[in-house]
Structure 1
Amino acid sequence: MSLARSLIDVRPLRTSPVFRRLLIGRTVSVLGGFMTMVTVMYQVWDMTRSTAWTGAVGLAQALPLVVFGLFAGAWADRADRRRVFLAATVGQAVCSLLLAVQGFTGHVPVAAVLLLVAVQSAFGALGAPAAGVFVPRLLPKEQVAAGLALQQVTGQSMMLLGPALAGLLLGWFGIGVCYLLDALSFGLAFYGARGLPALPPQGEPSRAGVHGVLDGLRFLAGHRVVRGALVTDLAATVLSFPVSLFPLVNAERFGGDPRTLGLFLSALAVGGVAATALSGPLTRLARPGPVMLCASATWGAALILFGLAGSPWLGLALLALAGAADATAVVSRSTIVQTRTPDALLGRVTAAEQIVGQAGPSLGNVRGGLLAGWTSGTTALLSGGLLCVLAVAAVATTTPELRDRVSGTPDEA
């Protein structure tokens, strides 16, 4: 196999100028988002010196997505997705501008900062389901997986760069400048999406309100392939997400060295970037179901071995493997969702996928923390990884459709 075919498939960048502009705007906006995430945590800690308040930042970011996500998906399935996304982007930019204003002026209650974060997250919950239709509508079916891989690798690269850049800018210029740069990044995202064609739903538009949400849930309950993809993701995150265990495992097995702890999260991200950068063969394979199942099982197995590792360097290598498996599973899952869901339902199903992606790791961190408190960090890692592997095997056994070639024409609702 040639090196070019081993690297990430860049055909979407060559064949679709609209996708190329969209990806550039999205990448810069994701960078700004990670900078704001760090800046908010820094500001709230500086204002309160309270871990309860810094924990509330995550709640302010997650709750709007969980509460409004499905309703936002139903709205996106009733309207021109381009206009919905542009409106959501403007709303997010305004929130960043208001955060910048309070950052420059100071003397704003911490509750007001969290309220702005929550409102911005609500606009994000509205824009995400609309953006979920962009790739399958802009690219030919055989390039959808490659387009999703390009989004994944750029997003994870910004996850590595954003926090470090925010730390530098906070030290040089303060919080106001970081928020202002995030607002400007939304301007580039707006420019990238402005060139999109009109993207109304193809097929019968969503019914209004709760009825539309229930229609989306009925599709998820009845579609074995899409449901299996989301259940697999929940199994991997709820049963075995390891981040809350890192400080305890570092203390138990690696002497509590803070340098080791800091590298744990970086290792996950580096593995994800490397795997996506070398995803060409897998995205061209057009078998996202088997790839997702194998990658999810590899995630669980890598965490089991990480729990047994006695060397920090071996532990970091296993976390990089876990990160690579996770990134591969995410691209494959999104390919299944976006190629097997009818366009008229894609906003709602994308919203459900976003909720799963947000809630699963949070619940997994709670599960791991509670079990580690009763037993040990190593036990929590080993049991979680084993449960993940068993759950993925159960999904593969009970959903044989996932083992087949599932990239193709969307199914009828």
Structure 2
Amino acid sequence: MKLFIDVRPLRASPEFRRLWIGGTASVLGGQLTVVAVLTQVWQLTQSTVAVGAIGIANAVPMVVFGLIGGTLADTVDRRRLVLFTTIGQIVTAGLLATQALLGFQSLAVVLGLVCLQGTFSGLGAPARRTFAARLLPEHLVRAGIALIHISFQASMLVGPALAGLITAQWGVATCYVIDAVTFTIGLYGVVRLPSMLPSRPEGSSRPGPRAIGEGMRFLAGQPVVRGALLTDVIATVLAMPIALFPAIAAERFGRPEALGLFMSAIAVGGIAASALSGVVTRAARPGAVMLAAAGVWGVGLAGFGLAQPLWLGIACLVIAGAADTISVISRGAIVQIATPDAFRGRVGAVEHIIGVSGPDVGNFRGGLVAGVSSPAFALVSGGALCVVGVAHLAGRNKALRRFSTATVPAPQ
């Protein structure tokens, strides 16, 4: 049935199938490590500041080396680059396991290894984003991205709970060991890929500031790709709700335990949308679908800010989570299809950086607004601003609004 997620990419490309299986395993293992690091740092320090430093230790190298990885992905064999960074992640997971087993009790060591893990992840992420468009025919790229996204959502839902059980029973070192094993499964999926040399036009720059500048100029001249990335900025920076969940759970509903329900509701909505994404991935105009979904994300969060019964608030978050997933799938396909292969690494780096930093900036914005008003006002105003921002973008960017696979520019 066309309603359900399109699994044709798994049948059409054995390479994509192996990559998807390995990527699913790696993301699940990565979730185990996220929880294990949080647990270990808290046990070492009993400090929320130290726990917060984990985010900085991971995000900074992800952003810095993401830009470098983008230029490398448009210059070298992308398969070799991802092989190198995956091996680096395996070694780092092994070092995390070693320090935990030896009982180093050093915050600096843990944060240093988190930073190293973020470095390898940032270097490899832009190249990884190009694989679906290279391995799949154009009409299956959106379906392939939907499959990648549903495995990510499922790992986000299952991974933390599984990590909690493992750390309680066998300790954080076991999570790190499992992470190393799952990265090894991911490595197998990459090893079996064909060579992934990028297309390099005559006179293109070597990796460095000039190559980054070329990528920025390409984005400036491409309203479809630029608009797709700007939609993500609007949705995350203006309407990210996570930082407001604890206050809403405690102050409005008087149930701090509702925090977990809020987080799960978004994930459940995302998984449901991915499972029923067949219509979305076959839609003729992914640009219009993405814009509409980003608007619904804002409406859902504004509704959550106004909701009084707990069940209604959760329902709004499920709707928001589903809309977010539809927007992410459509945006990823637009970026990969509308970007010539010669620029996919650098554009993927920008998309990666927005994905890493946008939610953090949005949560910070929400916290500031709530601090001078209220959590409910921060949610409602953020959702409303998101809707207005997306509507304004849709009105001004006709190319994005009307984008379809039939209007894809010829490869350069």
TM-score normalised over the length of structure 2: 0.98
Q: C-alpha deviations, 1:38-81, integer Å up to 9, x for none? A: 00000000000000000011111111111121121001111000
Query: Corresponding residue for 2:218?
Result: 219
Alignment of 1:323-338 (within 5 A): 323-338=321-336
Could you tell me how far apart the structure 1 residues matched to 2:152 and 2:411 are? 31
State which of 289, 295, 298 in structure 2 corresponds to 1:297: 295
Q: C-alpha deviations, 1:295-324, integer Å up to 9, x for none? A: 000000011111110011110011010000
Unmatched 5+ stretches in structure 2: none
Could you tell me how far apart the structure 1 residues matched to 2:322 and 2:227 are? 21
Query: Corresponding residue for 2:248?
Result: 249
Question: Structure 1 residue 379 and structure 2 residue 389: aligned?
Answer: no
One-letter amino acid of the structure 2 residue matched with residue 231 of structure 1: L
One-letter amino acid of the structure 2 residue matched with residue 349 of structure 1: V
Query: Corresponding residue for 1:240?
Result: 239
One-letter amino acid of the structure 2 residue matched with residue 242 of structure 1: P
Tell me how far 1:406 sits from its aligned partner.
2.9
Tell me how far 1:347 sits from its aligned partner.
0.6
* Runs of 4+ in structure 1 over 3 Å off: 408-413
Could you tell me how far apart the structure 2 residues matched to 1:218 and 1:38 are? 39
Tell me how far 1:206 sits from its aligned partner.
4.5
Query: Corresponding residue for 2:320?
Result: 322
Q: C-alpha deviations, 1:255-277, integer Å up to 9, x for none? A: 1x122111101100110000011
Could you tell me how far apart the structure 2 residues matched to 1:282 and 1:81 are? 29
Query: Corresponding residue for 2:29?
Result: 32
Alignment of 1:123-142 (within 5 A): 123-142=120-139
Q: Does the Cα contact within 8 Å between 1:291 and 1:329 map onto a contact in 2?
A: yes
Question: Structure 1 residue 394 and structure 2 residue 397: aligned?
Answer: no
Alignment of 1:2-401 (within 5 A): 4-204=1-201, 206-255=205-254, 257-401=255-399
Could you tell me how far apart the structure 1 residues matched to 2:91 and 2:410 are? 39
Could you tell me how far apart the structure 2 residues matched to 1:375 and 1:323 are? 25
**For 1:6, what is the secondary structure of its paired residue?**
coil
One-letter amino acid of the structure 1 residue matched with residue 270 of structure 2: G
State the superposition RMSD in angstroms.
1.1
Q: Does the Cα contact within 8 Å between 1:252 and 1:377 map onto a contact in 2?
A: no
Q: Does the Cα contact within 8 Å between 1:80 and 1:201 map onto a contact in 2?
A: yes
- Mark the CA change 1:260 to 1:372 in structure 2 (over 3 Å): closer, same or farther: same
One-letter amino acid of the structure 2 residue matched with residue 186 of structure 1: F
Q: Does the Cα contact within 8 Å between 2:300 and 2:320 map onto a contact in 1?
A: yes
Q: Does the Cα contact within 8 Å between 2:68 and 2:207 map onto a contact in 1?
A: no
**For 2:257, what is the secondary structure of its paired residue?**
helix
Q: Does the Cα contact within 8 Å between 2:4 and 2:278 map onto a contact in 1?
A: yes
Q: How many residues align?
A: 409
Could you tell me how far apart the structure 1 residues matched to 2:164 and 2:409 are? 44
**For 1:235, what is the secondary structure of its paired residue?**
helix
Could you tell me how far apart the structure 2 residues matched to 1:406 and 1:227 are? 15
Could you tell me how far apart the structure 2 residues matched to 1:293 and 1:169 are? 40
Could you tell me how far apart the structure 2 residues matched to 1:85 and 1:58 are? 23
Could you tell me how far apart the structure 2 residues matched to 1:285 and 1:321 are? 20
Q: C-alpha deviations, 1:353-407, integer Å up to 9, x for none? A: 0101111110000000011000000110111001000000111011011111333
Could you tell me how far apart the structure 2 residues matched to 1:284 and 1:75 are? 32
Q: Does the Cα contact within 8 Å between 2:81 and 2:127 map onto a contact in 1?
A: yes
Could you tell me how far apart the structure 2 residues matched to 1:379 and 1:328 are? 26
Q: C-alpha deviations, 1:144-192, integer Å up to 9, x for none? A: 0000000000110011111011011101111111101101111000001
Q: Does the Cα contact within 8 Å between 1:75 and 1:206 map onto a contact in 2?
A: no
One-letter amino acid of the structure 1 residue matched with residue 232 of structure 2: D
Tell me how far 1:249 sits from its aligned partner.
1.4
Unmatched 5+ stretches in structure 1: none
Q: Does the Cα contact within 8 Å between 2:74 and 2:200 map onto a contact in 1?
A: no
Could you tell me how far apart the structure 2 residues matched to 1:41 and 1:397 are? 43
One-letter amino acid of the structure 1 residue matched with residue 212 of structure 2: V
TM-score normalised over the length of structure 1: 0.97
Could you tell me how far apart the structure 2 residues matched to 1:275 and 1:358 are? 22
Tell me how far 1:287 sits from its aligned partner.
1.6
Tell me how far 1:282 sits from its aligned partner.
1.0
Could you tell me how far apart the structure 1 residues matched to 2:53 and 2:322 are? 30
